Amino acid sequence: MTSRQKDSGRASAATRRQFIGAGSAMLGGAAIAAASGGKAAALDPAGDPNGPPNIPEWMKVPGADTGGQLYGTPSPFEKKVIRNVPKNLKQYTSASTRTPLQELDGIITPNGVFYERHHGGIPEIDPAQHRLMIHGLVERPTIFTMDQIRRYPSVSRIHFLECSGNPGFEAIYGKTASDLVGLTSCAEWTGVPLKTVLDDVGLKPDAKWIVAEGADAAALTRSIPIEKCLEDAMLVYSQNGERLRPAQGYPLRVFLPGFEGNMSVKWVRRLHVTNEPAYSREETSKYTDSMPDGTARQFTFYMEAKSIITRPSGTQKIEKGFNEITGIAWTGHGKIAKVDITTDGGKTWQSATLQEPIFTRALTRFRFPWVWDGKPTVIMSRATDETGYVQPSFAELKAVRGLKSFYHNNAMQPWSIAESGEVSNANVKA
């Protein structure tokens, strides 16, 4: 290499460094300006002893030993990211806890904050003693051990799970996203396609339903159409890469993508193949919808398209200037096709960006860049799924379903933003 080439190389490197430095400064200035309402912060090392170029205290001593935690835990500074236990709900054996949706990013719900719903408490089951019986209208009635179930070819799929009462028709006044729709979570589920096992035991021609029974004290029982069992139903034993936790059905549960949550029977011990549904307590007394004309909707399995803005959302506070609007959308009928955002109370709507990849029957993260002018307003999201179904307003839903109905409320959720930047639920009791 000649001296000129060396000099040219040094000059090019210097130019790149200068460009990178200038770009970083410009990018940093823009970010600071956006965060501070347009006023850039001056460099004041003395005013921030832990900020660059100063050396913070945690850089001066070795950190914690890696062997200190046998199972990893979050930072203590994230201690507010915990499940939401409703204060007005007596936590007996039939109870629920909610996912803190407003504190999460992406689409995967960590196992530690995945929502829970129990009807007879959480049983402690030794997987070596657990059995799954498949009987009824099958050629070869069989009792399986967990080891035998795990010998089948497995699959892993990302899907949401949602309680059908999320929220009830008269429970639309919660303060946070978690209060309102915290009975929604999303995970990567691993297990065996139910069709694989059913093919092995052999379905008889008149098999129309499978009645699934859980091994909890309530022996929760739900009837599943055979078409769903053969489409995408799973026998699940792992969630987000680890074995199911006891509250999620350890060691084995049924999982029905897109169907109301209680049908994904936990701690499953029996699959009874029949030619008619069981009409159990959980599909007659519960999980049916009373209509204004005195009739009732039954077997409303699918969860309809739904969305909610999680940031900014109730109890949060924003600053004037740039704010990203983000949230989640989902549908039991396939993929989310689009999410529209209104920042003026529904007068106008604009399309949000959907985070790729978009999975079938999974949460989809949406984002929308917004510059708030500091004036009071109402923001809201509206989901459309790939079937063309559009998420309704609560007024539209109530006009059809009335207020006697409890389940399958998939209405849009409006958030009010005050002049102070404080965000609250725009649904107000009359």
- What letter represents residue 220's amino acid? L
pLDDT of residue 2: 43
Contact yes or no for 274/209 (Cβ under 8 A)? yes
- What letter represents residue 161's amino acid? L
Q: Which residues of the chain have pLDDT under 50?
A: 1-38
Residue recorded with tokens 């915990």: 82
pLDDT of residue 45: 62
State whether residue 321 is helix, strand or coil.
Answer: strand
Q: Exposed, middle or buried by CB within 10 Å (0-12, 13-18, 19+), for 96?
A: buried
pLDDT of residue 42: 62
Q: Does domain 95-297 have CATH number 3.90.420.10?
A: yes
The rounded distance, in Å, linking the Cα atoms of 210 and 229 is: 8
**Which residues are CB-contacts of 262 (< 8 A; sequence separation ≥ 6)?**
117, 119, 163, 164, 220, 222, 282, 287
Q: Where are the alpha helices (DSSP H) in 298-425?
A: 394-401
CA atoms within 13 A on the CB side of 293: 4
Instruction: Encode pLDDT of 5-36 as tens digits.
Output: 444 444 444 433 333 333 333 334 444 344 44
Please spell the DSSP secondary structure of 102-117, one letter per residue: GG--SSPPPGGG--EE
CATH, range 306-425: 2.60.40.650
The rounded distance, in Å, linking the Cα atoms of 30 and 32 is: 5
Question: Around Cβ 192, how many Cβ atoms within 10 Å?
Answer: 20
What's the length of the chain? Answer: 430
Contact yes or no for 222/282 (Cβ under 8 A)? yes
Residue range(s) occupied by CATH 3.90.420.10 in the chain: 95-297
Residue (of 388, 387, 409) closest to 398 by Cα position: 409
Question: Around Cβ 46, how many Cβ atoms within 10 Å?
Answer: 6
CA distances from residue 314 to 172, 180, 325 in whole angstroms, order as listed: 12, 10, 13
Q: How far apart are the first and last CA of the chain?
A: 82
The rounded distance, in Å, linking the Cα atoms of 69 and 22 is: 42
Q: Which bin fits 126, alpha (ψ -120 to 50), beta or left (φ > 0)?
A: beta
Question: Around Cβ 10, how many Cβ atoms within 10 Å?
Answer: 10
What does the CA dihedral 338, 353, 378, 409 come to, rounded to 10 degrees?
40
Bridge partners for 327 per DSSP: 309, 366
pLDDT of residue 312: 98
The rounded distance, in Å, linking the Cα atoms of 351 and 367 is: 9
Residue (of 414, 384, 399, 403) closest to 306 by Cα position: 384
The rounded distance, in Å, linking the Cα atoms of 91 and 8 is: 72
The rounded distance, in Å, linking the Cα atoms of 277 and 116 is: 26
